[in-house]
Chain A
Amino acid sequence: MATVIGTGLKGMGCMRAASIVGHRQSTLHVQKLTRCCSTENTQEPDILDKTKLLKSDRMKKKTGDDEFIPFVIRGKEPQSIDRHFKKWTVFKDMKHPDRHNVMTTEQDWTKVWPTSGVFRWSSVPLALRQGVIRNETENEGIIPDKEGNTELIKVPNFLHLTPPHVWKHCQALKKFCTPWPEGLDSKEDCRLHFPVEVVTSDYCFAGPSIRDPRSRVVTVKVKLSDLELDEHARHKLLKLVGDRYDKDNDMLIFKTDKCPTKQQNRDYAIFLLTAVYLEAWKKMPWEDDIEGDDFLDYQWNLSKAKDRTVLNLMSMAEGDQNSVYHNEEENEILEKEEVKNYAKAISKIYDDEESIENLNDLKQSALNMLQLRTS
């Protein structure tokens, strides 16, 4: 039956629609057929529900024609705008208000933002703006608000490390701490009593493995002036350590990460320090042949310039009996105050910086050394 009617309704095209329609229509048809066929008065239509009857009556009134009841398919005609709008407004009313609007001023921030996370505009009670407008017409010339702003998401935030957070962390860690040892009031004291500083880090996170490759790195720091060294040993040690020496802070820094565990790396760093120190005190026979350029600082006494200068001064003294350098040996000339000052000024230029001040110093010391009188 249903299939018959379904085919009769051409143009519907939709089997589902046809089946639904067929179901309803079939009942109607059955009713009509029975009405037509039977001579007796038909019973009250109990089988049909009230709504459908009402609907058909309404349709009758509309058309004013009892013979044909138009078939209404639900959803075929577009819904009215009013209804759509109403639905939307209802939905909007149902939406939760933004958290920052509801938040009180006594809100515990650590509960809003317990851990580090991406910026959520709805829960941050700050009037933030971020982004770029290309011209005055774009966004009415105003930099975009935080609401739905993706630019703010890109920026790393520290909302999980506010003073209340830190305070809470400290409170939580307090029970693991031991009292600070007495007599170590300043950093200088610490360095005096514990000259070797070992820096390691532990990493704690939720994951399948508790190991972290970064935790094996060990840094051992020692101040160079704390080590007992003579001039040769100091120079040799600096040559041995190379760029592990931090000139600005006078620190030796050994950073080891070659071994798999922290303990092994630590042992290795300490071994390096010991080996370098002991090696620095040894003196090999070939170390006597060292030249001026091998030193880290400029050594005027070992340069060719020294020979030239001494020769110059000696030949100056030959012509002038009043000269300070008259009848002096090379060693004696080098001991003179003027020559020492000159050497100092020259090395300053090479070691520090060739500034105008240093050059003026050099000029004065050179004039003094060459015994040139100026007014």
Chain B
Amino acid sequence: MNTSVKVVLSSLLSRRLCTRPLHRVRQIQKSFLGTSSEDGSDPTNEVARPPVHRPSFADSLRKAREDAASKKEHSAQGSSSSESSSSSDSSEEDDSLLGKREPADLFGKSAKSRITSQDMFMTEQSDPSEHAMDYEGIYYIVSQEDQTRFFPSFIDSHYRIQARTFGGLYLMIRKPALEIIDIIKKSSYNCPLPKFIVYGKRGGGKTSTISHVMHYCGKQNHMLLNIPLVNDWIRARTNTTPSTSKAGFTNIPEQAQKWISHFAALNAPLIKDMKVTKSIEWTKKEVTEAGSPLQSLIDFGLLRQKYADDVVDMLLDEVMTCATENKFKVLLVIDGLNGFYQPTNMREPLQPQRFIHAEKLCLVDSFKRILNSGNKNVVAVCTVNEELRKLNERVKFTPFYLLGKEASQELEPFVPIQVENFSDMEVKNCLDFYSQRKWIQNSAALTDEGRKQIKFLTSNNPYAVWKVAGAY
């Protein structure tokens, strides 16, 4: 095959796929999973689901239940023990799920029966701290508990869809994430830690890499400061107001509030114990006193949109002071760091003929302060994303190009980590996984020829594989 043709085809295809409207994908989801959880009635679900594969699942489930029942009768043991033996993960989650959503549970149940050593592309090990280099290229499931805690609002709509489809968040264990985790594990937190800048092609798995790292650090009781997408701050049509605390800066209070709620949801257990160290007088009546719980500051930020940006600034200050006092470690996760160093789409509130530079946003300024503080106990894992740039400025996907000379000098020393497209082994595992999850519907795609075709069309780009496999 001609490689140039291949590249052109794949680029065309990925562009085509990226522009595919989301609502259509959701429609597919609905028809695939069954209409809704409230109905719960079997006939409607059966109509909605594809006719070929569904009965086998139902049968297998019935069989499994019958087996369990027969075992119960034969052994005359307690019901709880048999259930726990049948499902390796926590049985409580299953019960809670059964009540809520039947079709998803069908998938989950059938999957769990198969998450054994038989499947070469899956691992039962859902704790990322146990992942070693020999786990590379294998999927693991983020447990339901972790999913609700660390990924309350998903980083990407793409992941939300995937998690809903597969009945759980599955992440592939890949080399760059393992590398970062390995370095973090071995380094001592007494000194300033490096910034990792993850770069790679579009759809190459940068976000899944940082979410894997985030999962690991969350498990290790790190404070997570996560910006899901910088794009929301610099491209969104939100209200802009001139800052009252910093002259010449601009507030984006809606986004700030959003971030505060995201922060509160991510770090709920750690926030409980924290106290405000400095007292601040917002107005004559509204005062945050030193010694009051941090939750009060968060509540104030959510209540009073006007001061949200300043609250974020103060929250970050509090986090930093706690980090210097060795109370906990901090992980800073920013998806699209280069968005901090480029002009935004928003106009200046007082001079509407001018666009705001991202450096002149209060939020960006306070995050940059942490990033360049050189504080101990702080690790930063960021991505650089070419999608934040204009269409004609996407020549390369490398960090120095995307950040620019000044920004990259400001961020030094950082460790660039490349996320490549799938290797042959990874793409094989990925397609195995998709076919097992029935993401690939067409039987032609399960053959070797079909797989070759998918590889050819996508050039092993993970996002393109997901889209093309779904289109089959």
Which of A's residues lie within 8 Å of B, judged by CB?
Answer: 303-305, 308-309, 311-312, 315-320, 323, 342, 346, 349-350, 354, 356, 359-360, 362-363, 366-367, 369-370, 372-375
The reply to whether A372 and B194 contact each other, CB–CB distance below 8 Å, is yes
Please give the distance in Å from B395's CB to the nearest CB on chain A: 10
Interface assignment of B240: CB less than 8 Å from any CB of chain A: no
A356 to B416, CA, bound (A): 10
A324 to chain B, nearest CB (A): 13
In the complex, the answer to whether B186 meets A359 with C-beta atoms within 8 Å is no
Would you list 11 pairs from A and B whose C-beta atoms are within 8 A, ordered by A residue? Answer: A304-B409, A305-B410, A308-B410, A346-B412, A362-B416, A363-B417, A366-B194, A372-B187, A372-B415, A374-B179, A374-B182
Give the residue name and chain of the B residue nearest to A298 (CB): B405
A363–B414 Cα gap in the complex (Å)?
Answer: 8
Residue from B182, B192, B396 within 8 A of A315 (CB atoms): B192
Question: Which residues of A have CB within 8 Å of B7?
Answer: none
**Nearest CB on B from A345, distance (A):** 10
Does B399 sit at the interface, judged by CB under 8 A?
yes
Decide if B90 is an interface residue (CB 8 Å cutoff): no
Chain B facing A: main interface SS: mixed
A360-B418, A363-B417 known; A320-B179 Cβ under 8 A: no
The answer to whether A375 touches B418 (Cβ under 8 A) is no
User: What 1/0 mask marks residues of chain B from 398 to 436 whose CB sits below 8 Å from any chain A CB?
Assistant: 111100010011101111111000000000000000000
Chain B min CB distance to A355 (Å):
8
Q: A312-B192, A356-B418, A372-B187 are in contact. Are A366 and B413 (CB under 8 A)?
A: yes
The 8 A-B pairs with the shortest beta carbon distances in the complex, nearest first, are A319-B190, A316-B191, A305-B412, A305-B409, A319-B191, A354-B398, A373-B186, A309-B413
* B409 adjacent to A303 (CB under 8 Å): yes
Which of B194, B413, B418 contacts A359 (CB under 8 A)? B418
Tell me if B374 is interfacial: C-beta within 8 Å of chain A: yes
Asked if B133 is at the interface (CB within 8 A of a chain A CB), the reply is yes
With known contacts A303-B409, A363-B416, A320–B190 Cβ distance under 8 A: yes
Could you say which residues of chain B place their CB within 8 Å of the CB of A315?
A: 191-192, 374, 376
In the assembled complex, the Cα of A372 lies from the Cα of B405 at a distance in Å of: 25
- Is B412 in contact with A363, judged by CB distance below 8 angstroms? no
A370–B401 Cα distance when bound, in Å, is: 23
Does B183 contact A372, Cβ atoms closer than 8 Å? yes
| Residue B91 lies at the interface, judged by CB distance under 8 Å to chain A | no
Extra A-B contacts (18), CB below 8 Å, given A363-B417, A367-B183: A305-B412, A312-B413, A315-B192, A318-B191, A319-B188, A319-B191, A320-B191, A349-B400, A362-B416, A363-B416, A366-B194, A366-B413, A370-B415, A372-B186, A372-B187, A373-B183, A374-B182, A375-B182
Contact B410 A304 (CB under 8 A): yes
**Mostly helix, strand, loop or mixed at chain A's interface?**
helix
- Given known A354-B396, A370-B194, contact A312–B186 (CB-CB < 8 A): no
Report chain A residues within 8 Å CB of B399. 359
| A342 and chain B: residue at smallest CB distance | B413
Cα A316 to Cα B375 with chains together (Å): 10
CB distance from B298 to the nearest CB of A (A): 31
The contact of B412 among A309, A316, A319, by CB within 8 Å, is: A309
CB-CB < 8 A to A372: which residues of B? Answer: 183, 186-187, 194, 415
In Å, the complex CA distance between A207 and B399 comes to 63
Q: Which residue of A lies closest to B183 (CB)?
A: A372
A375 proximity list for chain B (CB < 8 A): 133, 182
CA distance A154 to B374 in the complex (A): 71
Q: Do A308 and B412 form a contact, CB below 8 Å, given A316-B192, A374-B183?
A: yes
Among B133, B191, B400, B415, the residue within 8 A (CB) of A354 is B400
Q: Chain A residues near B192: list those with CB within 8 A.
A: 312, 315-316
Complex Cα spacing A45 to B433, Å? 126
B186 neighbours in A (Cβ, 8 Å): 372-374
Bound form: Cα–Cα A367–B417 in Å: 11
